[in-house]
Structure 1
């Protein structure tokens, strides 16, 4: 396939399309209450060919970062063939996938064995972000929705730690940003884990990204008083280890800080207290082909009718993005919002 140069695609606020978050499954092997995953995938899950077509067309329209998500993407039998197809395209002159600079994966780390980590690296994955919301077993069990209390939580923490070791051994280098740790912080539930999580990440010389508890979907019973603002998180960590600001890169989700001793970095994703809608460049596509231009959207746009050809799909995505004007996080406090919204696990976060 011969392709022209990538086209810059802008929305109503002149925000370029730059990141594609593609969900491979809505299923998960954990049951985090803030995420509320489904027990089964929606009907009409995209085929491998359809997923590759989506990624190619998105790259043609300016996408430079592909992030594979879930649910838990390591549960998907489509993951490895998809990575292989993307890797082939990135090495083929004239293929739009040559323009992809970054292919990343978000996982809870439970299934990240040594063999799996090596296979991911060998099949062209550039980066892994592992989610862990607590070091203490009892708190980890609560955040993951596990039965069995502290014992189950301790087991989860050990599995995730083993996954981090496996990823590092496979060549995902934390110092290069190839391996990061995510944690959702909910006031009164796991905010006492801030310092233990920072200690863990520092011991691994790994960036820790702290995420404000968000009002995604309708199942999690979100309330504003459950949000610990990013500024407070940074202050608490800085009381133990001094930090200096690195700012936020255009289109990035996290404002970053570096420890004075240069051990590693801390990022804060402040969708509630410090919205960053102004340069949001992310398009989310669910496992069944629904496109969402905002994490907090009430409904998506079905792309499956346009899957017949690259031209049809390119027209559908370009049209959707050019009409985009959403900036929910910036408008959260000044608009009445009682509409149902898609759930986190379905959207892929």
Structure 2
């Protein structure tokens, strides 16, 4: 199979497809504000595979399955089965996928599901956790004051990490990571406890600046804890040395000098990395977004329903990427916040 990588207006190739399986979540994190129900017209399995194969033909080498909470979707398992079969066939565009990952809050990640994910060829699991104690977990999952619920959720996430590790997702190989959003005035006190937890679990922790995605979360710049400040605070506890940010990656990484592992920071607000962004997002109902901060998407359903028009889909995605010039984070001050602004859970983060 011949791959013809597409390049946008800023010479950025398409490399990563983030496919959302659902906009629903079993948590209510206030920085994300997920929907309570699915949008209409969800892509079926045939349409999902058509989108993935088209992206692969255009150069995508990584597929990230997201939500909402993707483990809520009963469409996850049939999709993984088809992806596993296609990746082993050199004539299938899916053979181009070098990495298949899933992002989850971990609540539904049982030992059985972790083993299924591994058996179906998933290469990496990223778990989201924004607090290291019951009260903080309750607050960050939209359940303030519910300490007992926070204890239960934290215990479930820790069990999920154990299950993923037992299933063969090796954190030393980057196959199991921990994501944490740090919000000033809300959970900034959890920075050191989360880092201590990640060090204890030998996990790479990725600290994420609170972002202005969507209209529901009440974002203000004062709520952002800058990446440089987070690294400085960590450095005072455990001295760090820079590793850097790989080309097209989101995280700028640092290594603990005492051998305690690696920590990354995703600084979309204070240190934007638009210049080499290679990600295309497709929502669960088939809208393609070329930027996390975009205010509108391209509706692909015309080329997907009732049956995929593969040539038409290739043409429209090629044109969309060729015309892409998004760099909202770099131009945030000049552009202001676009309106309407798609929500994070709908876009898949």
**TM-score in same-fold range (> 0.5):** yes
Which residue does the alignment assign to 1:5?
Answer: 2
Question: Is residue 120 from structure 1 mapped to residue 117 from structure 2 by the alignment?
Answer: yes
Question: Is residue 98 from structure 1 mapped to residue 84 from structure 2 by the alignment?
Answer: no
C-alpha deviation, 1:69, in angstroms:
0.1
Question: Is residue 67 from structure 1 mapped to residue 64 from structure 2 by the alignment?
Answer: yes
Which residue does the alignment assign to 1:274?
Answer: 271
Please give the secondary structure, in 1, of the residue aligned with 2:74. coil
Decide which of 148, 151, 155 is 2:148's aligned counterpart: 151
Which has the larger displacement, 223-232 or 331-340?
331-340
Question: Is residue 23 from structure 1 mapped to residue 23 from structure 2 by the alignment?
Answer: no
Which residue does the alignment assign to 1:321?
Answer: 321
Q: Distance in 2 between matches of 1:338 and 1:18?
A: 25
Please give the secondary structure, in 2, of the residue aligned with 1:211. strand
The C-alpha deviation readout for 1:35-72, integer Å capped at 9, x for no partner, is: 00001110000001110111111111000000000000
Please give the secondary structure, in 1, of the residue aligned with 2:127. strand
Please give the secondary structure, in 2, of the residue aligned with 1:231. helix
Which residue does the alignment assign to 1:133?
Answer: 130
1:95-244 equivalence runs, <5 A: 95-146=92-143, 149-244=146-241
Decide which of 54, 75, 80 is 1:78's aligned counterpart: 75
TM-score, normalised relative to structure 2: 0.98
C-alpha deviation, 1:88, in angstroms:
0.4
Which residue does the alignment assign to 1:309?
Answer: 309
Which residue does the alignment assign to 1:337?
Answer: 337
Q: Distance in 2 between matches of 1:35 and 1:58?
A: 26
Q: Distance in 2 between matches of 1:214 and 1:169?
A: 33
C-alpha deviation, 1:147, in angstroms:
5.5
Q: Distance in 1 between matches of 2:286 and 2:335?
A: 29
Q: Distance in 2 between matches of 1:10 and 1:291?
A: 16
Please give the secondary structure, in 2, of the residue aligned with 1:257. strand
C-alpha deviation, 1:311, in angstroms:
1.1
C-alpha deviation, 1:338, in angstroms:
4.9
Distance 1:348 1:245, change over 3 A: same
Please give the secondary structure, in 2, of the residue aligned with 1:210. strand
Which has the larger displacement, 304-313 or 289-298?
304-313
Structure 2, unpaired ranges of 5+: none
Question: Is residue 246 from structure 1 mapped to residue 243 from structure 2 by the alignment?
Answer: yes
Task: Tell me the C-alpha RMSD between the 2 structures.
Answer: 0.9
C-alpha deviation, 1:93, in angstroms:
2.0
The C-alpha deviation readout for 1:83-107, integer Å capped at 9, x for no partner, is: 1101100001211111100000000
C-alpha deviation, 1:148, in angstroms:
5.2
Q: Distance in 2 between matches of 1:75 and 1:152?
A: 19
Aligned length: 346
TM-score, normalised relative to structure 1: 0.98
Please give the secondary structure, in 2, of the residue aligned with 1:43. coil
Please give the secondary structure, in 2, of the residue aligned with 1:328. coil
C-alpha deviation, 1:336, in angstroms:
3.5
Structure 1, unpaired ranges of 5+: none
